[in-house]
Amino acid sequence: MACLMESSVPLQSYKEAAEWILAHTDQRPRIAVICGSGLGTLAETLENKTVIPYEDIPHFPSSTVPGHAGRLVFGLLNGKQCVCMQGRFHIYEGYSMSTVAFPVRVFSLLGVDTLIVTNAAGGINSNYSVGDIMFIKDHINMPGFCGQNPLRGPNEDGFGVRFPCMSDAYDQHLRHLAMDCTQELGLQDIVQEGIYCMLGGPSYETIAECNMLKLLGVDAVGMSTVPEVITGRHCRMHILGISLITNMAILSYNSTAHANHQEVLQTSQLRAAALIALLTNLVGKM
C-alpha cells in the first residue's frame, strides 16, 4: 500500500513559495504557461523578463529531465503579463502527483486564472501525423484508475471543493479562440482536437498498450499534463491543453520503428516557431 500513498503538500509550503515570488518580481500575471518537452523556447520570446530558477524558490521541486530547464520566466507576451514554466515535473521522476502540480497552486496564489499546458505526445489516432498540433478536449487519467490523483489527501478548501467536476476541465471558449488563431496563422491543416491519455512512464508504451488505448478512443498519449490540469481546475482556472504530436505510436508488430526521446525533441524544434506564433496570437486575444 505504501506505494500508493500520496504525501500531500502542506498549505504553508504553497504560501511561502508564493510570498517569496511576490517579493522577487513586480509582475502580477493572470496567465501561466507550462512548457512541454522542447517547447521552452517560448519563454525566451517574453519581453521584460524576470527569470527565477526553481531552486531559489522555497519548497519548489527541481526538474531532472534533459530538454527541460528549471525556471520560471515572468514577462510580457504580446503585451500581456505571463509566467512560463520552463521545465515541468513528472511522476516518473519519483514525484507524487501533488508535487508535480505544486507550481499550479502557487500560480493560483499569485493571481493566475488561466493555465495553458503544452506537452509532447505520441499519436494514437491513425489520422494524425507527426508535427500535428492537438487541442486537448478531454483526458483520461490512467494513473487515477489505481488511486493516483494530485488531490488525494485532505482537501484544501481554500483552493477548491472536495469533489471537483472534471467534465469541463478544458475550456471550450479558449479552445475556440485557439482554433481561430490557427486559421489566421494558416495552421488549420495541422490542427486536431482530441483526447489525451496520461500514463506513468518513463518507459514508452508497448504495442499491446497502444492498441488498448486506441480501442478506448484515445487520440494521443503522454506522461504529463493531467496532474496540473486537475489541480488547476480544482482552483477554478480556465485551461487550454495543447499536445504536439512528436511521434506516432507503434500499433503493429511488423513495424521496425522505435519510440525515442530524440525524435520527440526534433519534432518539438520543428514546430516550436508555429507553437510560439499560436500562443503569442492567442494571448493577445485573451
Ligand X SMILES: *[C@@H]1O[C@H](CO)[C@@H](O)[C@H](O)[C@H]1NC(C)=O
Cis peptide bond upstream of 53, omega within 30 = no
DSSP letter at 254? Answer: T
Amino acid letter, residue 119: N
126 is in an annotated binding site: no
* List 11, 52, 69, 76, residue binding ligand X (CB under 6 A): 76
Stretch that binds ligand X, among 120-128, 129-137, 179-187, 231-239 (CB under 6 A): 120-128
254 forms part of the interface with ligand X (CB under 6 A): yes
Looking at beta carbons only, is 77 or 174 nearer to ligand X?
A: 77
CB 14, min distance to ligand X, A: 27
Nearest 5°: the CA angle 155, 221, 258 is 140
Nearest to 175 by CA among 196, 198, 197, 192: 192
**Residue 16 is assigned to a ligand binding site:** no
Place of cell 499534463: 225
Active site residues: 37, 68, 90, 92-93, 120, 223-224, 247, 261
R_g over Cα of the chain: 18
Question: How many CB atoms lie under 10 A from the CB of residue 152?
Answer: 17
DSSP code string of 38-49: T-THHHHT-EEE
User: Contacts with ligand X in 15-54 (CB under 6 A)?
Assistant: 48
Question: Contact between 127 and ligand X (CB under 6 A)?
Answer: yes
Annotated binding-site members for phosphate: 37, 68, 88-90, 120, 224
Annotated binding-site members for a purine D-ribonucleoside: 205, 247
Annotated binding-site members: 37, 68, 88-90, 120, 205, 224, 247
* Site of interaction with ligand X (CB under 6 A): 48, 76, 125-127, 252, 254
